[in-house]
């Protein structure tokens, strides 16, 4: 026989209705800490990464992304990776590193991209002379065309011969720019038509993600073009009767952004659906802010980066191989050693199994489907930097370890960085509610006086349900009098 204790039932009900603060659940699941960055997988790039990390005391993963991006840009001008049974793929990378303001990402980029800036300075020194020579050549060409047109009096055939003798119109020299910190995708394309390699490297990636390139009208075009460049496909444009067909172009992307800015891209359905996020190496390193005590500059710091600066400088100074009859690049493919190919097959099959429903990469299938290619590109960068003419097992294992770490970051960040409109609305409602003098609120007052985004009853009800489910508010008894009238739907903040 069951015995009911009315007092105990009342106490249980009261305890259930009142959620202590420690039982309130955050509206967003807290992001777990990242796995340690696989520094050993950087191989020959490990010393410059660790030197930059010691100097700046920035997160190691942030330093690694900057160095890999710079090395990949320099190597990708001259080399592709030849993936067995797939074909040649460019050593193009697209890094998106999420970091707080003050994380010293600018200092890291300045050190990692020093060889690129030196190459730009050398181009600038030559540009003035090239521009002067172009001016003289163009003036001579224009004068010759004027004279050739005079042959028209002798008939069309004579005019055609005279114009053919003049030759092609001289091309203006490419501007001495290898990287662009901001701007539009059209600006990048224009730069690539003049020079077949360029990149967007920005320590303040918000200038790009928040600029015209990611405005509503330009966003899809921007993302599609980045995908095209990542794939190594020709640039094809037809604008106002002007056509562009440029093949053999290489463009890399490296952005460091704050979390609020990253959410713009991570929350963009088009970026996920069209494969842009699958092509990006996204990470959010653990902050080092608050731990960076004063440290004297290492007396041999410059020497620690000598090999890195010299190797990238040599790659950037080397004349690239060109496609026949074009100024496009024709990078040399780096093949796989037989042992590395066996490792590749094992990695491919293990990754494919993990894409199945319920398996590790099921929630990031877009990225997971490109993990093998990411691993191959990263191993190609490591091999090219080391001056190897094949990708050996060590290089592929390193590339696979790096790709696996970035896959873990996609899994870790997938539910916590991308914006959720409903959770964001609930968070806004909670902040507004906590600012009100009366902790009690009824539904009509909420959608009449609350946050603008909750002026529709359905939206308001959903936000309230989320707060109630997370233990921030409790429903008041039906008929509770608020503003002089009994209310059917009313809630109160839980202290």
Of the listed ranges 56-65, 200-209, 400-409, the least confidently predicted one is 200-209
Encode pLDDT of 346-403 as tens digits. 999 999 999 999 999 998 999 999 999 999 999 999 999 999 999 999 999 999 999 9
pLDDT of residue 212: 62
Of the listed ranges 334-338, 370-374, 405-409, 442-446, the least confidently predicted one is 442-446
Higher pLDDT, 20 or 356: 356
pLDDT of residue 14: 44
pLDDT of residue 242: 72
Residue 199, beta-bridge partner list: 179, 252
CA distance 59 to 52: 10
pLDDT of residue 170: 87
Q: Is 412 helix (H, G, I), strand (E, B) or coil?
A: helix
Of the listed ranges 112-126, 231-245, 471-485, the least confidently predicted one is 231-245
Average pLDDT over residues 430-443: 88
Going by pLDDT thresholds of 50, 70 and 90, the confidence category of residue 23 is low
What residue segments make up the domains of the chain, in order of their start?
26-74+87-287+298-324, 420-493
- pLDDT surpasses 90 at 428: no
Going by pLDDT thresholds of 50, 70 and 90, the confidence category of residue 5 is very low
pLDDT of residue 415: 58
Average pLDDT over the chain, rounded to an integer: 86
Encode pLDDT of 57-86 as tens digits. 999 999 999 999 999 999 999 999 999 999
Long-range contacts of 335-339 (CB under 8 A, 24+ apart): 335/82, 335/390, 335/391, 336/82, 336/83, 336/84, 336/390, 336/391, 336/396, 337/390, 337/391, 337/392, 337/393, 339/392, 339/393
Q: Is the overall model pTM greater than 0.85, yes or no?
A: no
Going by pLDDT thresholds of 50, 70 and 90, the confidence category of residue 279 is very high
Going by pLDDT thresholds of 50, 70 and 90, the confidence category of residue 210 is low
Instruction: Please tell me which of 90-94, 174-178, 467-471 the model is most confident about, judged by mean pLDDT.
Output: 90-94
Average pLDDT over residues 43-50: 97
- pLDDT surpasses 70 at 18: no
- pLDDT surpasses 70 at 277: yes
pLDDT of residue 12: 47
Going by pLDDT thresholds of 50, 70 and 90, the confidence category of residue 102 is confident
**Alpha helix ranges (H) inside 318-434:** 338-353, 365-368, 371-385, 393-413, 421-434
pLDDT of residue 3: 43
CA distance 309 to 168: 39
pLDDT of residue 189: 82
Higher pLDDT, 417 or 201: 201
Going by pLDDT thresholds of 50, 70 and 90, the confidence category of residue 255 is confident
Average pLDDT over residues 102-118: 91
CA distance 257 to 97: 6
Most distant CA atoms of the chain, gap in Å: 121
Pick the CATH number of 420-493 from 1.20.810.10, 3.30.465.10, 3.20.20.140, 1.10.10.10: 1.10.10.10
Going by pLDDT thresholds of 50, 70 and 90, the confidence category of residue 216 is low
pLDDT of residue 214: 65
CB of 414 within 8 A of CB of 271? no
- pLDDT surpasses 80 at 118: yes
CA distance 38 to 40: 5
- pLDDT surpasses 60 at 91: yes
Burial of 236 (0-12, 13-18, 19+ CB in 10 A): exposed
Going by pLDDT thresholds of 50, 70 and 90, the confidence category of residue 15 is very low
Q: Is 246 helix (H, G, I), strand (E, B) or coil?
A: strand
Encode pLDDT of 439-457 as tens digits. 898 888 888 888 888 888 8
Going by pLDDT thresholds of 50, 70 and 90, the confidence category of residue 114 is very high
Higher pLDDT, 237 or 65: 65
Q: Which strands make up the sheet holding 281-283, listed edge to edge?
A: 197-202, 250-257, 94-98, 281-283
- pLDDT surpasses 90 at 19: no
- pLDDT surpasses 70 at 257: yes
CB of 221 within 8 A of CB of 185? yes
Alpha carbon 356 to chain centroid distance? Answer: 26
Q: Is 373 left (phi over 0), alpha (psi -120 to 50) or beta?
A: alpha
State percent of the chain over pLDDT 90.
Answer: 44
């Amino acid at each position: 026989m069951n015995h009911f204790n009315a007092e105990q039932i009342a106490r249980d009900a009261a305890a259930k209705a009142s959620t202590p603060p420690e039982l309130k659940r955050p509206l967003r699941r807290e992001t777990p800490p990242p796995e340690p960055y696989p520094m050993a997988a950087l191989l020959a790039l490990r010393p410059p990464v660790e030197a930059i990390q010691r100097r700046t005391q920035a997160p190691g993963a942030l330093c690694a992304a900057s160095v890999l991006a710079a090395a990949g840009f320099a190597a990708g001008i001259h080399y592709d990776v030849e993936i067995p049974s797939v074909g040649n793929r460019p050593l193009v990378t697209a890094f998106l590193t999420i970091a707080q303001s003050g994380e010293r990402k600018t200092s890291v980029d300045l050190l990692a991209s020093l060889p690129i800036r030196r190459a730009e300075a050398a181009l600038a020194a030559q540009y003035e002379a090239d521009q002067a020579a172009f001016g003289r050549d163009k003036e001579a060409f224009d004068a010759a065309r004027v004279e050739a047109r005079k042959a028209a009096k002798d008939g069309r055939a004579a005019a055609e011969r005279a114009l053919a003798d003049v030759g092609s119109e001289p091309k203006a020299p490419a501007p001495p720019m290898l990287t662009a910190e901001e701007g539009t995708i059209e600006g990048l394309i224009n730069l690539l038509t003049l020079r077949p390699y360029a990149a967007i490297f920005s320590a303040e990636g918000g200038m790009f993600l928040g600029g015209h390139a990611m405005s509503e009208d330009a966003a899809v075009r921007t993302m599609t073009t980045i995908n095209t460049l990542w794939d190594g496909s020709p640039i094809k444009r037809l604008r106002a009767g002007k056509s562009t067909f440029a093949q053999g172009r290489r463009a890399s992307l490296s952005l460091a952004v704050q979390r609020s800015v990253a959410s713009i891209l991570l929350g963009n359905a088009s970026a996920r659906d069209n494969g842009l996020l699958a092509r990006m190496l996204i990470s959010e390193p653990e902050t080092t802010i608050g731990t960076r005590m004063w440290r004297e500059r290492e007396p041999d710091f410059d020497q620690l980066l000598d090999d890195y600066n010299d190797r990238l400088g040599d790659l950037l100074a080397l004349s690239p191989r060109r496609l026949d009859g074009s100024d496009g690049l024709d990078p040399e493919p780096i093949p796989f050693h037989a042992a590395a190919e066996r490792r590749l097959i094992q990695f491919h099959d293990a990754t494919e199994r993990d894409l199945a429903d319920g398996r590790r990469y099921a929630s990031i299938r877009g990225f997971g489907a490109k993990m093998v290619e990411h691993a191959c590109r990263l191993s190609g960068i490591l091999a090219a930097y080391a001056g190897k003419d094949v990708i050996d097992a060590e290089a592929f294992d390193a590339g696979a370890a790096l790709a696996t770490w970035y896959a873990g970051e996609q899994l870790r960040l997938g539910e916590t960085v991308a914006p959720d409109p409903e959770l964001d609305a609930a968070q806004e409602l909670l902040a507004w509610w906590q600012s009100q003098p009366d902790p009690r609120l009824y539904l009509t007052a909420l959608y009449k006086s609350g946050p603008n985004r909750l002026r529709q009853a359905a939206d308001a009800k959903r936000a309230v349900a989320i707060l109630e489910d997370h233990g921030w508010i409790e429903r008041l008894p039906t008929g509770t009098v608020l503003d002089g009238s009994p209310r059917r739907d009313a809630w109160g903040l839980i202290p």
